[in-house]
Structure formats: structure tokens, C-alpha cells
Structure 1
């Protein structure tokens, strides 16, 4: 029996050097959907300061003397509405960074993808992640830190329950827009609601499904703090200026703007051929009324069977 003859041939490894690979844009697993930034209505703050003028709501309060008369000529009462003398002002905060790129890199390696454009895109992604985190957690203006004391409640048994969500709705009952919770808290609520025989229905927003409670969607955000013990908070928001709710603040029309309130400015190229670009975002967040935010605190994301529930 003859031995098979071996013929020299181009091997696959060498052949791949002539092939054009199909490449993707740089993938970054720290990028989140940032639903809060998509759902929060923004107000253009032309002068950089947003002043919330409010009616005095405490004693002595508004003097609105209204009279109902069934018969006869009434003696008309006097009426006036008093305003706060020192309304709260929100100043825009700034997130900034300087992006450095070597001109040799951007010149030679920008065939399938523009290297500078990709660097700007990823820098903007990081900046927006920071913005959403600050909107929720900033010590001065973050939503979690401006909740009025009377708008805070504690969860009853640990994991979030339908009862807890109904209690939040009793605090923000004037046109509530959405709940905001850590993804693990939403999963814990889904378990609790299903255990009680009321699995929450879903609604589609931006082409993605969200579970709801009483018709109000539960929006996930990983920027809400989650402690090592598995404790977090859940927010219920009313949004929009016309609704006296929560609004995002930004300044549009800045130099080098690539979208409202976000700019990329070329700063020059140094003697080492390093090009610099200043990336800036001007933003803040404000609540026009105290009852625009409700907060459920000390929410556990662990399984419900770890807790002992009171008997019905």
C-alpha cells in the first residue's frame, strides 16, 4: 500500500494575513442604558442658574380667604399669595476631562473606524455615566439627598412589597411618572409580587420591556447605591416643569457643542504631536416641589424566604 504524498500548500495562519478582518467598535461593558437620562425632562438654563420660586407653604402660609354664599350680598374677603423671599437656586455643575490623542495614531490607523471619533465617543459615554451617578448621589443636589423628610418611608419586611409601592404612590400621587430602582431591587419586587399572586405586567419603552406596578414602570439604574448587606433604596418620581416635578438642568449653545450642554473643544497640538480636546458637560437636577419625590429606604434585595412575615 502506497504512502499518501505530501504537497506544500499555503497554511491558514499565513493566509489570514491577507484577509481583511471584520472589526467592531470598541466594546465597553461599563456602559449602561442610562434610562434616567433618557426619561428625565431637561430645562435649558441660559444664565447658568435655575431659581425655583415657590409659594410659602408653612405658617403663616398663603392667605387665600375664599367665601361661599348661598344668599344675600357677601362681604368680599381679601386675598394674596405669598412667595418665599429666598428661593432655592441651582447652579450648573461641570464634568470635564482632557482627551489626548497622538496625531500619528489618528492619521495612520483611522481606516475602518476614525480613532479620534471613537476616543471622543467613549469619553462621552464615561462622562454620561458620571452624570447619571451625580444626578442621583451628589451630596448637594442629588435626587437621593434632596428628598423631604415627610417623603421617606421604610420598607416593612425587608424586600420591597406591593404594599411598599402603594405607600410610595400615596406620597407621590399627583401624576407619578416612574419608579427608579437598582436592577436587583426590581428583581426582588418581582419575586414578592409573584409570591403574592400579583405578578407585575410589563410595558415597552424604547423597545425594551419594563415591569410595572399600578401601570407605572419600574426603571432600572445601577447608579443607586447597593450596600454589601444587600440594602438599597427605591425612588418614585413625578417629572417635568409643567407638573412641578423633577427636571434635569443643562445649558445649550456652548462652544463646540455636539449635543445640548455637551461640548468638545480642540485645544491644540503640542511639540510631541499630542492633540488635546476638552470635553465638558454642564448639568444639574432640581425638584420643583417636595412631593415630586418619594423614597423607600432600607430595601433588601435578598430572597423573601430569608424573612419571617407576620401572619395575616
Structure 2
């Protein structure tokens, strides 16, 4: 080889034309763990209606303790029921997914286009479901808090004293706190400042801060406005007269409890359509199953600019 000749070799750009790239499935940034739906107990509902019967005037039910040596007078009593109990109707979160058959026929390797389109749409519906469970104006957690179960922080930022006060409102077997991740961070700072860093607990393979043994569960669906949010404390389960999630069982095309995927056909433009529906609601069985710490300060506006857009 002459001294002035430059040795040639196959370049990277050309070589890549013969290589197969490893392709991921589409990543959807809005997907969250949705801990709330995992922690609720779900009750199947017949015909989409859940009637919440309650005792009327519970303090009027009278009993007595007779003395050992005397028969005493036994009171006459009965347990009355509310005559117009509230009925919950399942709410539908639905959409129609359209897929061009040419796309699904030609471009479904290595990942099935229809499968991925359905997966991403279902994830989006489930995110909306969690938001509705918290924020729906009819049955959501925030709309279901009894006025007597609303308290306010002592200093603005969430402190151990505030969460202790919340525990006095839901003291019968509380299950978990629910709040925005920024509120959990603010609570952690207050605990550290006071020299009482909260312990953690492992749930579902993840670590959660706790207070008095009760986990603080994060959800970005808890609203934040003007640097303030809310912290909820929840008791769950029908046996505990707590909060229960409601779903419709036995749906046509059922993929998971309350979630249905049904093929609607192919139109003359070769568009295949799928109806995706999720039927759910939520009921608070007794007033003391739910309480909220309102107007919780999490920091100044300029500290978290992206949160308030």
C-alpha cells in the first residue's frame, strides 16, 4: 500500500442498514402506579345500581345492663332504617379506538399494532378512572367528605400534629392516607425538621412513608392549586363500613373487572373499530370512613412551576 493511500473500511452508517434495531413498545409517560385502585376493595354491582342502606337515628337504639340480683326493666327498642337511601349508579369511561386494517396487516412485527393500540388506550382509561374516583363531583372521594370530617393544618405545611388530628376523624381501622406526591415530600420535610423522620413500609414491591403505621399513598390525581393540596385518610371495605369501589361484573368482552373491549366491525374505509368501556363508581358507607386535611401548603408557586400549568 502506498504511503499516501488511506485505508478504507465499512462505516457505521452503512453497516447499520444490515442490522436489526431492538424496538420497544410505545412508552406512555402519563401511566402511574394507580395505587388507589389496588388498595380499594371492589364490590360487584347487579344491574349497575348500589343502594346504600343506613340506620336512622342510631343513638335511639336502647339497651340496658341489668343488675345481677334483680331482674330490672328491659327497654323496648327497634332499629329503624332510612326510608330514602342513596343509590349509586355506575359511571362509564368509554372511547372508540379506530385502527386502519392496512396498518395492522403490514406493520405488526415485532409488535402487534392492534394489541399496542388497545393497551395504550386501556391505560389511558384506567388513569381517568383513578381521577374520577378522587374528583368526580357526584361520587368522588373529595365530593363525599362529610363537613364534620374536614380539618385544616395548624401552620399551613402538613405536620405530624395535622396527621394525628386526621387520625382522630378516621380512628376505626384506617387503611391509608392519600395525597399528591408533593404533599408527601412536604410532610417528610416537616418530620425531618422536627427530628422525627417517618419510617417506611414495603407495599407491592415499593417503599412508602408512613405515619403511626399508616402508609402515605401518592397520586398525582389529587388536585393542586395555588401551592395547596389535600390529604385524605380512608378506611376501606364493606365489612369495616368503609369506602368501597363499585364495578359491573360479567360484561361482554370483559378484560378485567369492569373493563370491556368489544370489536365493532370494519367499515367501508377499512377502519376496524373497538369499543372500550370501564364501568365503576365509589361509595363511602359511613361518614367517619373518610376525612380530609384541606389547604395543605406544599411550597411556593415558583418552586414547582410545571405543576400548576
TM class, shorter-length: over 0.9
Residues 252 and 260 of structure 1 are in contact (CA less than 8 Å); yes or no, is this contact kept in structure 2?
Answer: yes
- Render the CA deviation track for 1:13-47: whole Å, top value 9, x for unaligned: 12212211111110111111111011111100022
Equivalent position of 2:32 in the other structure:
32
- Match runs of 1:209-220 below 5 Å: 209-220=207-218
1:307: which partner in 2? none
State the shift of 1:78 in Å.
Answer: 0.7
Counterpart CA distance in 2 for 1:55 and 1:4 is 99
Q: Is the 8 A contact 1:64 1:81 kept in 2?
A: no
Q: Deviations along 1:172-197, whole A, 9 cap, x unmatched?
A: 00000000010000000000011111
1:65 CA displacement = 3.4
Task: State the match for 2:44 in structure 1.
Answer: 44
Residue in structure 1 matched with residue 253 of structure 2 by the alignment: 256
Question: How far off is 1:302 after superposition?
Answer: 1.5
What residue in structure 2 maps to residue 87 of structure 1? 85
Which of residues 168, 171, 175 in structure 2 aligns to 1:170? 168
Give me the whole-angstrom Cα distance separating, in 2, the residues matched to 1:205 and 1:65: 43
Mapping for residues 271-310 of structure 1, pairs under 5 Å: 271-302=268-299
1:68 pairs, out of 41, 55, 66, with 66
Distance in 1, matches of 2:85 and 2:67, equals 37
- Shifted more, 284-293 versus 104-113: the winner is 104-113
Corresponding residue pairs, total: 301
Question: In 1, distance between residues paired with 2:97 and 2:273?
Answer: 6
**What runs of 5+ residues in structure 2 fail to find an aligned partner?**
301-309
Equivalent runs, 1:51-200 vs 2, <5 Å: 51-57=51-57, 61-200=59-198
Secondary structure at the counterpart of residue 119 of structure 2:
helix
- Aligned equivalents of 2:268, 2:138: Cα separation in 1: 41
Query: How many Å separate the matches in 2 of 1:69 and 1:85?
Result: 37
- Separation in structure 2 between the aligned mates of residue 4 and residue 102 of structure 1, nearest angstrom: 58
Aligned partners of 1:65 and 1:23: how far apart in 2? 70
The alpha carbon displacement at 1:76 in A equals 2.2
Q: Where does the alignment leave 5 or more consecutive residues of structure 1 unmatched?
A: 304-312
* Structure 1 CA distance for aligned equivalents of residues 144 and 56 of structure 2: 18
Partner SS, residue 128 of structure 1: helix
Q: CA RMSD in A?
A: 1.6
TM-score w.r.t. length of structure 2: 0.94
2:23 is matched with: 23
**Could you tell me how far apart the structure 2 residues matched to 1:186 and 1:23 are?**
36
| CA-to-aligned-CA distance 1:193-234 (integer Å, 9 cap, x gap) | 11111100000001100000000000000000001x210000
Q: Aligned with 2:151: secondary structure?
A: strand
Query: Is 1:252–1:261's contact at 8 Å kept on the other side of the alignment?
Result: yes
In 1, Cα distance between equivalents of 2:115 and 2:60: 55
Report Cα offsets for 1:106-156 as digits up to 9, x if no partner: 111111111100000000000001000010001110100110011000111
Q: TM-score, normalised by structure 1?
A: 0.93
Shift of 1:8: 4.6
Q: In structure 2, what is the Cα distance between the partners aligned to 1:287 and 1:69?
A: 40
